[in-house]
């Protein structure tokens, strides 16, 4: 029995050395893997596209200071996933809203409660996957009672046109 153990000793040493080397290699790879650092980021210029800036100016006039306008708000900051779901169901539902953004959110100036959302639809909204996204967002907004306004991107906007559309809901 002792002879058998003595014969297996080199194999045991080799296995231990391989495990240690594997762990060292894994740590070395982890240490050398580039992680995002502050230097990896740049200021987004411009923050709003020319179409968004143009529409924002008209929307500001149309709301006449009665509402606070916030831009590019994450959907998950406007609505939340209901309680009572299993962890997996909740995570799945949250994943559907976490990376979607709303172009403009109109809020009450005192409480900053969301009163309505505005989407500015450009050509990308003609694509089937974007239409599916828009349908989902519209359904969520309808279910939560938040009015949604959609305007097509165009060269110019009329304050009256925007004001009348907002007054409809």
Same-domain check for residues 161 and 129: yes
**How does pLDDT run across 107-162, given as a tens digit for each residue?**
999 999 999 999 999 888 889 998 999 999 999 999 999 999 999 999 888 999 99
Report the Cα 26 to chain-centroid distance in Å: 32
**How does pLDDT run across 31-63, given as a tens digit for each residue?**
777 777 788 888 888 999 999 999 999 999 999
**How does pLDDT run across 1-35, given as a tens digit for each residue?**
566 666 676 777 778 888 888 888 888 777 777 77
**Number of independent structural domains in the chain:** 2
Residues 6+ apart with CB under 8 A from 165: 149, 151
Same-domain check for residues 95 and 134: yes
In a domain, 45, yes or no: no
Same-domain check for residues 35 and 60: no
Full domain range(s) for residue 15: 2-40
pTM: 0.75
Report the Cα 118 to chain-centroid distance in Å: 16
């Amino acid at each position: 029995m002792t002879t058998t153990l003595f014969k297996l000793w080199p194999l045991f040493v080799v296995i231990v050395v391989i495990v240690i080397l594997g762990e060292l290699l894994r740590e070395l790879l982890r240490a050398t893997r580039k992680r995002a650092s502050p230097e990896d980021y740049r200021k987004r210029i411009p923050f709003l596209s020319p179409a968004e800036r143009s529409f924002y100016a008209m929307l500001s006039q149309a709301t006449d200071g009665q509402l606070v306008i916030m831009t590019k708000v994450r959907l998950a900051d406007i609505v939340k996933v209901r309680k009572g779901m299993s962890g997996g169901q909740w995570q799945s539902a949250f994943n559907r809203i976490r990376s979607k953004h709303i172009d403009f959110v109109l809020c009450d100036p005192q409480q900053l409660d969301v009163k309505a959302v505005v989407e500015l639809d450009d050509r990308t909204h003609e694509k089937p996957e974007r239409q599916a996204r828009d349908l989902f967002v519209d359904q969520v907004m309808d279910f939560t009672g938040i009015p949604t306004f959609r305007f097509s991107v165009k060269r110019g906007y009329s304050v009256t046109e925007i004001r009348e559309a907002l007054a409809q809901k």
